[in-house]
Amino acid sequence: MLWIKSFHIIAVVCWFAVLFYLPRLFVYHSLSEDKTSKERFVIMERKLLRGIGTPSMIVAIVLGFWIASYADYYYSQTWFQIKVLLVAILVVYHFWCAKIWKEFRADNNKRSHVFYRWFNEIPVLFLIAIVCLVVVKPAL
């Protein structure tokens, strides 16, 4: 079980690294004006999203439910239900990032760097909430 938890934590850390860094790349990508820079950002974003982000997300979710299956009483606890909801919203955020990447790839970005600077802060709030729920396990 400790191996499963270890790999779950590693996958979560990798996934969050992508959720923090990919929108930051969007900030710089939205500011780039020359074709070479835009092409470079598309490649970097693709490798980050598809090479690290999506696999890490899948592993984190699978291992998370595996861990929860050993403590099936979690499913009836409010803190765990909120955590699962927050993770589901993060999955939506992840796929929103993929959609944004596709817009950049098609050279069809319509948002400013200011939008992406705010967009970049969303996963921080989720990380704080999820870690607090998992560690404290508040009786809600």
Q: How confident is the model over 26-64, as pLDDT tens digits?
A: 999 999 999 999 999 999 999 999 999 999 999 999 999
Band the pLDDT of 4: cuts 50, 70, 90. Answer: very high
Q: What is the pTM of this model?
A: 0.93
Q: Express as a percent the part of the chain with pLDDT over 70.
A: 100
Considering only the C-alpha atoms of the chain, give the largest distance between any 2 of them, rounded to a whole number of Å. Answer: 55
Mean pLDDT of 4-19: 97
Band the pLDDT of 113: cuts 50, 70, 90. Answer: very high
CA atoms of 104 and 95, how far apart (whole Å):
14
Contacts for 30 with CB less than 8 Å, ≥ 6 apart: 109, 111, 112, 113, 115, 116
Band the pLDDT of 74: cuts 50, 70, 90. Answer: confident
Residue of 55 and 72 predicted with greater confidence: 55
Mean pLDDT of 129-140: 94
Band the pLDDT of 72: cuts 50, 70, 90. Answer: confident
- Mean pLDDT (the chain) is 96
Q: How confident is the model over 86-102, as pLDDT tens digits?
A: 999 999 999 999 999 99
Q: Are 109 and 29 in contact (CB under 8 A)?
A: yes
